[in-house]
Structure 1
Amino acid sequence: MMCVSALIISFLLLCEFSMGMGSLVVDDAQSSDTSDLMARSVWAEQLSLSLLPPYSSPDHQVDPNMCIQLLHEFANNSGALSNCLAGMAWPVRVCQHCYKEYAQLKATMNKIVTPMQNSSTLSCGTTLLRSDRVQVIVALSNFYDDVWIDSKCASCLNMNHTSVLDSTASFMKTFDELMQCFNITKGSTVPDQHGNFSHVCQMCNVTYKNLSDQYTNLEHGNYLCIDLEDAMNSTRILWSRVFNCTLPCTDTIPVIAVSVFILFLPAIFYFSTYLHSDQRKRKLILPKRLKSNANLAHIQDKSN
C-alpha cells in the first residue's frame, strides 16, 4: 500500500513539474513563474522528507520544516567556519579566532542528531545524515573535526571551549611585543652581519628569552596548539636566520669547569697512584755484615 501511494505521489509530482515547465515556456519573461517553480521544488522536498517509511510511524513523524531549517543552519555554520579557517591560515591563528564558529557547528550537529524535548518528533539525523550514499553532512563534519584535532586547538582553550587560556593569551602578548621589537611592520630594521652585536639582538634579547621560556613551559604542560607552534617557529627563523642572533648559554661556566676536571682526571689518577705505591716506602737497608764491620771500625776509632 505504501509503494502504491509513493507511485501516485511521484506521478503527481511529475505532472506538477510538467505543468510548471509548460507555463515557464509559455511565459518565460515573467519572473513569477520561476518563483512558483521554486516553491513547488521546496514543497516536493518537504514531501519527500515526510515519505520515508523505514524511519517514520503513525505516532512519530519527521517534521520536514525542522529538518530543512537545521540543514540551512548547518550550511551557514559550515560556511562561516570555512571562511574563518581560510582567513586565519597564515599566519596560523585558527584556534584563537575560529573556536566560536566551530562550537556553533557542533551545536547544530547536536540538534540534528538529538530529538526535540517534550515532543514525539524524531531527530533529523537519519534523514539528513544517512539518507544518501555520499553522506555530505557527515563528511563535512568529520573534515572539520579532523582539522580541529590535528591543530590541537583544545590545548589552547578552556574546558568548555568558550575562551582562550590565559597562558595562550600571555604567550601571544609576548610574541606581539617581540614582533614590535623586531619592527617588522615598519620595515625600518635592516639585518646586518654583526650577529649578537647588532642593535636588534641587543634590544630584543630579553624578550626573545622570555618568549622561549614560556614556550618551553607550555610544551612541558601540553598546552601547545598550532597557533603557538607556528608563532614560535617563525620567531626562531627571524631570530637566527634573518637577524643572525644567538641566545647566550647561561651554563657556560659549569660546562667549562666539568670539562677541565675531566681533562685533568687521568693526571690526578696517576699522581694518586704514585703517592700510594710501594716505591715511595722503600728504604735503604744495609747488610748485617756490613753493619757489624761499620760498628767495629767505629769502636776502634773511639779507643784510639
Structure 2
Amino acid sequence: MSGQWFSLTMFSRVLLLISIVTSPLFSHPCEPDTDDDSFVHPEDQYAMLAPECCQYLSGLSETLSAFVACTVWNAKPFRVCQKCLNEYQNVTKASDALYDDTTNYNGSTCSDQLLSSDKEAVIYKVLTDSQKIWSISQCDKCYDTSTKGSTVMSNDTQHFFHLTKLVFNCFSLEEQEAGNVCKQCKQFYRNLNTFYASLGKTSSDICMDIVESMNNTRQAWSSTFNCLVQYEDTLAVAFTLACICLLPIFLYGGTAILETKYQNEVLKRKSNMYEEIGGHSHGSSDNQAYSPSYEYMDSAYSEENPHVLPVNTIPPLDRPGPSRGMLDDSSGNTRSLIDINEQSSLNQTT
C-alpha cells in the first residue's frame, strides 16, 4: 500500500512539473489577459510601470527592433545611412514623444519609468546605442537638411554614387571584353578619387556610406585589378625624381660660385688698400719715412724728475735700433726698461 502511494505521489509530481513547464508564461503588464481584460496577474500589480506608459514602451520596442534589424542587414556592404533613414526617424519620433510627456503617473514620468527605473537600463542603452550608430556614421552628412521637415539626399552624395556607378560599369565591361581595366577605366577612377578628396579633409567629415564605398572601390582598383602601379604617369614620376636628384647639384654649385665671387671681391679690396698705403710711403723723403711722435707727460720730465719715462718710448718692431723693450742709456749702452726703472728707484731712495 505504501509502495502504491509512493508511486502515485511520484506520478502526481511528474504531472505537476510537466504542467508547470508546458503552461504559458504570464503575459506582459501592458498586454491584458485574452480571456479577461480586467484580470491582472499578481506580480504585475507591483510592477513599476503605469498603464499610461505602455504606448511609449510599445513604440520604442517596435521602432528600435526595426532599426537594429536594418543596421545589421545593411552593415555589409555599409549602406546604413541610405537604407535605414525611415527606421531611424521612427526611433527619433518615439523617443521624442516619450521625453515630451512630463505627466506623472504613479509618482514619476514615463521616461523615468522606462529608462531609469531598473539597474541595467536596457531600454536606455539600446536607444542611445542606436542614436550613436547614426551619429558616428555621420549619416546626416549624406542628406540635405537645410529644408525643415524634409530630408533628401544631398547633391554631393548623389554625384558621388553616380561616379562610382560609372567606375564599376567600366570594370564590368572591360572584364567581359577581356580589356585593359587599368588603362580604360583610369579616367573614371581619377574623377571619382578627385571628387571624394573634395568632400572633406578627413573621413570623419564624410558620410560613412561614401567612405566605405570609396574604400571598396580602391580595394578593387589596387587589389583585384592591380592597377596601383599604373595609376600615375611614368613621365611625371621621372620628372619628379630628376628634380630631386639635381637639386643638391644646383644648390652646392651655386654656393661655390657665390663664395668664389665674394673672395675675389675681398682680395681686390685688400690689394687696392695696400696700393694706397704704398703710394703714400714713396711720396715722402727717406729721412722722413719713419718719424714717430713721442708724447711726454709734462715738462717736469727734463727738469724736476729726469728719471720718469715718457709715455710712448717703446719703438715699433720695424724700427732699426734696440729691440722691443730696450733703450739706450746716457753712456750709449743698451739696457732694458726694467733695469732703468730699478736704477731710477735706487737714485730716488739715495
Q: TM-score range by the shorter chain?
A: 0.5 to 0.7
**1:178-205, Cα deviation, whole Å (9 max, x unpaired):** 1111118x96376xxxxxxx71111111
Whole-angstrom distance in 2 between the partners of 1:90 and 1:203: 29
User: Is 1:235 matched with 2:207?
Assistant: no
How has the CA–CA distance of structure 1 residues 134 and 120 changed in structure 2, closer, same or farther, with 3 Å as cutoff?
A: closer
Q: How does 1:108-187 map to 2 (within 5 A)?
A: 108-115=94-101, 123-159=109-145, 162-183=151-172
Partner of 1:200: 181
How has the CA–CA distance of structure 1 residues 248 and 203 changed in structure 2, closer, same or farther, with 3 Å as cutoff?
A: same
Whole-angstrom distance in 2 between the partners of 1:260 and 1:81: 61
2:104–2:110 Cα contact (<8 Å) kept: no
Partner of 1:102: 88
Quote the offset at 1:88 in angstroms: 0.8
Task: Tell me the amino acid that sits aligned with residue 230 of structure 1.
Answer: E
Partner of 2:294: none
Quote the offset at 1:211 in angstroms: 1.1
2:32–2:40 Cα contact (<8 Å) kept: no
2:82–2:209 Cα contact (<8 Å) kept: yes
Taking structure 1 as the reference length, what is the TM-score of the superposition?
Answer: 0.63
How has the CA–CA distance of structure 1 residues 125 and 48 changed in structure 2, closer, same or farther, with 3 Å as cutoff?
A: farther
Task: Tell me the amino acid that sits aligned with residue 69 of structure 1.
Answer: Q
1:49–1:127 Cα contact (<8 Å) kept: no
Whole-angstrom distance in 2 between the partners of 1:51 and 1:272: 93
User: Which of 37, 40, 44 does residue 44 from structure 1 map onto?
Assistant: 40
How has the CA–CA distance of structure 1 residues 39 and 81 changed in structure 2, closer, same or farther, with 3 Å as cutoff?
A: farther
How has the CA–CA distance of structure 1 residues 72 and 216 changed in structure 2, closer, same or farther, with 3 Å as cutoff?
A: same
Whole-angstrom distance in 2 between the partners of 1:36 and 1:89: 38
1:99–1:162 Cα contact (<8 Å) kept: no
How has the CA–CA distance of structure 1 residues 271 and 51 changed in structure 2, closer, same or farther, with 3 Å as cutoff?
A: closer
Q: Which runs of 5+ in 2 are unaligned?
A: 1-18, 23-30, 279-350
Query: Which protein has greater RCO, CA pairs closer than 8 Å, 6+ apart?
Result: 1
Quote the offset at 1:129 in angstroms: 2.1
Taking structure 2 as the reference length, what is the TM-score of the superposition?
Answer: 0.55
Give the superposed CA RMSD.
4.0
SS at structure 1 position matched to 2:176: coil
SS at structure 2 position matched to 1:44: coil
Partner of 1:188: 176
Task: Tell me the amino acid that sits aligned with residue 136 of structure 2.
Answer: D
How has the CA–CA distance of structure 1 residues 36 and 143 changed in structure 2, closer, same or farther, with 3 Å as cutoff?
A: closer
Count of aligned pairs: 234
Quote the offset at 1:263 in angstroms: 2.6
SS at structure 1 position matched to 2:212: helix
Task: Tell me the amino acid that sits aligned with residue 99 of structure 1.
Answer: L
1:171–1:214 Cα contact (<8 Å) kept: yes
Whole-angstrom distance in 2 between the partners of 1:41 and 1:130: 29
Task: Tell me the amino acid that sits aligned with residue 223 of structure 2.
Answer: R
Query: Bigger radius of gyration, 1 or 2?
Result: 2
How has the CA–CA distance of structure 1 residues 39 and 144 changed in structure 2, closer, same or farther, with 3 Å as cutoff?
A: farther
**1:167-224, Cα deviation, whole Å (9 max, x unpaired):** 122111111211111118x96376xxxxxxx711111111111111111111228641
Task: Tell me the amino acid that sits aligned with residue 76 of structure 2.
Answer: W
How has the CA–CA distance of structure 1 residues 130 and 276 changed in structure 2, closer, same or farther, with 3 Å as cutoff?
A: closer
SS at structure 2 position matched to 1:89: coil
Whole-angstrom distance in 1 between the partners of 2:264 and 2:200: 59
- Could you tell which deviates more after superposition, 260-269 or 35-44? 35-44
Q: Which runs of 5+ in 1 are unaligned?
A: 1-24, 29-34, 56-61, 191-197, 289-304
